[in-house]
Amino acid sequence: MKLWGGRFTKGTDKGVEEFTSSISFDCRMYREDIAGSIAHARMLAKCGIISDEDTEQIVAGLTGILADIEAGNFTFEIALEDIHMNIEKRLTDQIGAAGGRLHTARSRNDQVALDTHMYLRREIAAVSRLLADLQQALMETAANNRNVIMPGYTHLQRAQPILFAHHMMAYFFMFTRDFSRLQGVWDRTDMMPLGAGALAGTTYPIDAKYVAQQLQFGALYDNSLDAVSDRDYILEFLSFASILMMHLSRLSEEIILWSSSEFKFIELDDAHCTGSSIMPQKKNPDVSELVRGKTGRVFGHLMAMLTVAKGLPLAYNKDLQEDKEGLFDTIDTVKFSLSVYGSLLRAMKINGQRTQAVLDQDFSNATDMADYLVKKGLPFRQAHEVVGKAVRYCIEAEKYLTDLTLEEFQQFSPLFAADILQAITIATCVNNRNSHGGTSPGQLSRQLDTAKDILQREQVVLGKYGGVGL
């Protein structure tokens, strides 16, 4: 018989059982469910709602069930619907009436909310650690390739020369903001809903603060309806994950392009590539392609949950069962993507000779040529026109700006002097961009120092997360 079956005269249709059951996916929250039940039982005893003897039996029984699940000696049953009922049924079968007292002063509504809060909190800690490691890998890649110059692009057209390390640090700071966003998700997840009951609280003299302390929650929900009916913390995590995956997808797109024969800017390690079943020469950037592809499914989970939640009246509705599969898949996808990317970056090789050669046969120094004239007194718009004409001349003559003689330069403006060739070397173009956040070596050093400080501060945050256990 169902644990809720007293009101019913018929058994549940097998098709309905399968349709409404969540045990196939919410079984992963067994640790959280057991930890929450143990804390709840101890609170009931503390408040005199159940006896100490019952509580001792409940705690011992739940501890044994945890061991059984960990050892693979527990069969989850679809007929029992979810992780909560599966565990409670096993407990009651083992210890009798004491097990039936565990559910006093709580509902599955606040129980499932508790489990989800605890589970997501634990996974936020895991994702944060992986994200910090990716940031570390980006900083290492930048520091190890400080002198490599590459084309910077707009519209995927070569624009201005930049340090490769500068490009890597751009992603470092993107992921730093992602880390900060995840801290905010933690704050909204670190709230304890147990005690809300089904929707209106409970008539029993419970001590929710005691349970929160036992489970190391930083705050309590102030409204019982809110506690059981909202999933904004899940939506916030899905939003964070979508932005994070968008950043990873952008990086992946560049890794894919740079590793192609057309670019040859990098070479990926064999360990992070696959070959072709028919073309022996192929070395495919599958990891980056998969991360780029998996970004779409994370976006889909966010939109799905927004759609589920948008029309729900207070309080709990079965629709909210749909919050878990997308969340779990997103967590798995994000953790996989982050875990592989750090090692990919650390192992890839940068072809600095190739990136320099590309710059030597291009016009990415044109802006610096215009700036040269501006510093000689020519208005920028006029300088822009002069350099544009010089570029057109070079294209027609199959030359580059650094191939021009002083006499050729002076055909376009008498302001050009012998120092023009030094002013438009690729190294000079990079070195002179010393404004805050620019690509000069000095600014890169400042960025790397800032990155070290950021990573140290993040370790403090990770330490706080690490102190929250089950």
Which CATH homologous superfamily contains domain 366-424? Fumarase/aspartase (C-terminal domain) (1.10.40.30)
- Candidates 1.10.260.40, 1.20.200.10, 3.20.20.140, 1.10.10.10; correct CATH number of 109-146+156-202+220-356? 1.20.200.10
Residue 4's pLDDT is 47
User: Is 348 within 8 Å of 267 (Cβ atoms)?
Assistant: yes
How many other C-beta atoms are found inside a 10 Å radius of the C-beta of residue 209?
A: 13
Residue 18's pLDDT is 54
Residue 350 has φ and ψ, to the nearest 5°, of -100, 130
Report the alpha-carbon distance of residue 344 to residue 255 in Å, rounded: 10
* Active-site residue, 51 included: no
Residue 11's pLDDT is 64
191 DSSP β-pair partners: 219
Residue 20's pLDDT is 58
Largest CA distance in the chain: 101
Token pair recorded at residue 259: 């590793």
- Is cis: bond before 315, omega within 30 of 0? yes
Q: What is the pLDDT along the chain (470 residues), one digit of tens a residue?
A: 555 456 656 665 556 555 556 888 889 999 999 999 999 999 999 999 999 999 999 999 999 999 999 999 999 999 988 999 999 999 999 999 999 999 999 999 999 999 999 999 999 999 999 999 999 999 999 999 999 999 999 999 999 999 999 999 999 999 999 999 999 999 999 999 999 999 999 999 999 999 999 999 999 999 999 999 999 999 999 999 999 999 999 999 999 999 999 999 999 987 887 776 777 677 889 999 999 999 999 999 999 999 999 999 999 899 998 999 999 999 999 999 999 999 999 999 999 999 999 999 999 999 999 999 999 999 999 999 999 999 999 999 999 999 999 999 999 999 999 999 999 999 999 999 999 999 999 999 999 999 999 999 999 999 999 877 55
Report the alpha-carbon distance of residue 194 to residue 106 in Å, rounded: 7
Q: What is the pLDDT of residues 379-393, one digit of tens each?
A: 999 999 999 999 999
Name the catalytic one among 155, 261, 435, 436: 155
Name the catalytic one among 24, 276, 339, 445: 276
Q: What is the pTM of this model?
A: 0.93
* Active-site residue, 301 included: no
Contacts of 41 (CB under 8 A, 6+ apart): 50, 54, 55, 58, 59, 62, 102
Q: What is the pLDDT of residues 256-310, one digit of tens each?
A: 999 999 999 999 987 887 776 777 677 889 999 999 999 999 999 999 999 999 9
Query: Which long-range contacts (C-beta less than 8 Å, at least 24 apart) are formed by 266-270?
Result: 266/348, 266/349, 266/350, 266/351, 267/348, 267/349, 267/351, 268/344, 268/347, 268/348, 269/344, 269/347, 269/348, 269/349
Report the alpha-carbon distance of residue 332 to residue 245 in Å, rounded: 12
Q: CATH for 5-104?
A: 1.10.275.10
As to burial, measured by CB atoms within 10 angstroms (0-12 exposed, 13-18 middle, 19+ buried), residue 206 is buried
Amino acid at 423: A
Residue 438 has φ and ψ, to the nearest 5°, of -75, -175
Q: Tell me the three-class secondary structure of the chain, residue by residue.
A: CCCCHHHCCCCCCHHHHHHHCCHHHHHHHHHHHHHHHHHHHHHHHHCCCCCHHHHHHHHHHHHHHHHHHHCCCCCCCHHHCCHHHHHHHHHHHHHCHHHHCCCCCCCHHHHHHHHHHHHHHHHHHHHHHHHHHHHHHHHHHHHCCCCCEEEEEECCEEEEEEEHHHHHHHHHHHHHHHHHHHHHHHHHHCEECCCCCCCCCCCCCCCHHHHHHHCCCCEECCCHHHHHHCCHHHHHHHHHHHHHHHHHHHHHHHHHHHCCCCCCCEECCHHHCECCCCCCCCCECHHHHHHHHHHHHHHHHHHHHHHHHCCCCCCCCHHHHHHHHHHHHHHHHHHHHHHHHHHHHHHCEECHHHHHHHHHCCCCCHHHHHHHHHHCCCCHHHHHHHHHHHHHHHHHHCCCHHHCCHHHHHHHCCCCCCCHHHHCCHHHHHHCCCCCCCCCHHHHHHHHHHHHHHHHHHHHHHHHHHCCCC
Domain boundary assignment for the chain: 5-104, 109-146+156-202+220-356, 366-424
